Structure 1
């Protein structure tokens, strides 16, 4: 999950703000300690103009 974020030089805070989540909760998603919602995945995919499969 963090591959796309890091490739684009973005912080966890940027993605957390994008999906309306606290940064610490987004960090848990990247670390496999929390599941990401379908809604959040769609927001991220739309933001980066990629398909959900690419994400």
Structure 2
């Protein structure tokens, strides 16, 4: 588990809201890895955000 990844308790709270796999061609085998990747991108500061003030 990385620094910004969800804890086990956080993951258990989120799990009921994710779609259930039907076993046919499931693209996301490890949903936890996908969610952690999305959170990593969202939490990462943007370098070229036009709304941010220039230093």
TM over 0.5: no
TM-score (normalised: structure 2): 0.28
TM-score (normalised: structure 1): 0.28
The one of the two structures with greater contact order (alpha-carbon pairs below 8 A, sep at least 6) is 2
